[in-house]
Structures are given as C-alpha cells and as structure tokens.
A and B are shown apart, each in its own frame.
Chain A
C-alpha cells in the first residue's frame, strides 16, 4: 500500500464546477504539499501545509492531521485548471525526512 493515496485518479468537470481532490497518508508527516503539473512537465507548488487551511485565489487547501487527510478544492473551475494535481508529504524529521508523492489526479475541465 502506498504511503500516499490520492482520489480520484481522473476527474472531468465542466467549467464553473466546484472540484475536490483528496489525499490520504498513512504515516506521521511534518508537511504536506499540493503541486500542479501541466503537460510538458513543469511543476508548480500550490500550497505547503502543516495544519489548518490555506486559500489562494480560487484554490483552497485543508489538512486534518488527526485523520491524516488533506483536500484541495478548486472553486469556479476553468479549462486552464486542467492539469495533474499531486499531493506530496514530508515523512520523518530533520535529516531523515524525505518527500513521498501520490500518483496524482488528472483533471480536465471542459467548456
């Protein structure tokens, strides 16, 4: 079983819809990252969380440390949001820590 599980794997939405992508992890973490990868490879960091909730424009990320779960929400989705969204967790602390990645959620937003 992977340490980081994302759902759904694929998601198709119409423009304007509210989207939720989920990330569950099985180990203790010191931080969680939400990343966006467009076709061609470049990765952009959307959020880094260790607790609570963060908002940036139409994007909202939440984390529940006790339940080992995080969600990424996109409000009023747009075709330019089409990308792969990847959850990554930092497992361990200090020099023993490393990033472990989920397999990604492929989002397509249509007109």
Chain B
C-alpha cells in the first residue's frame, strides 16, 4: 500500500511569490492535515480536511490556504511569500477524523530567498 506522497520535495522561491504544495493520502484515507515545522517554532498545525471540508485551522495568516479534492488529495497554497515561511511542510492522512492514527509524508522543504 503506497504511503502519503508529497510533492514537490524541495523548492526555492523568492519573497512575494506564491507556492502550491500537494499531498496524496493513503488510499481510503479521507482526512488530511497539514503542519509547518521550523527550527524556532517546532511543529505547528495549519489545517485539517475531511471529505473536502476544512474542519479546523491553526493560527496562521490568511496567506495560508488549502483545499481537498473529491479523491482526498489536498493542496496548500501560500501567497505573498515571506522569509519566515521557509520551513518543512508536512501533511498527514488518517482514515477518520480527530482521533485516527496519523500517517505522515516526507514533507516539502520550502526555502524563501
């Protein structure tokens, strides 16, 4: 069974640009959540989707957005990139919501110059 796939794995952008990251969950999983990891702040929750609906959102500015498609694949978008957005962005999938075991992807490492 294929794991959680995140693309791209690495990317470099400049300030002011926007970026879209993709996450394909494990087949049959309907919940996808996104996290940002930085050396200074550690892991922080971004958002969580279930059956194409955003269930919850962390404390991030509106420049961070996401969506989930009918096949459970999810994308997150960051607009008007800032240097502080440089981070490892991780997604995780689970079969159910809220209390399901999480399966993480390898992450997308974003560098903003």
A residues sitting closer than 8 Å to B (CB atoms) are 30-31, 33, 35, 40-45, 48, 50, 86, 88, 90, 93-104
Contact = CB atoms under 8 A, between A and B. Distances in A.
A97 to B, nearest CB: 5
Interface of B: 33, 35, 37, 42-45, 48, 55-56, 58, 88, 90, 92, 98-107, 109
Contacts of B33: 99
A95 B56 contact: yes
Secondary structure at the A interface, as helix, strand, loop or mixed, is strand
B45 A103 contact: no
B106 A90 contact: no
A99 B43 CA distance: 10
B106 A50 contact: no
Given A88-B43, A99-B45, A33 B102 contact: yes
A101 B104 contact: no
B102 A45 contact: yes
Contact of B109 (A35, A41, A48, A94): A41
A102 B56 CA distance: 20
Interface centre among B35, B99, B103 (most CB of A within 10 A): B99
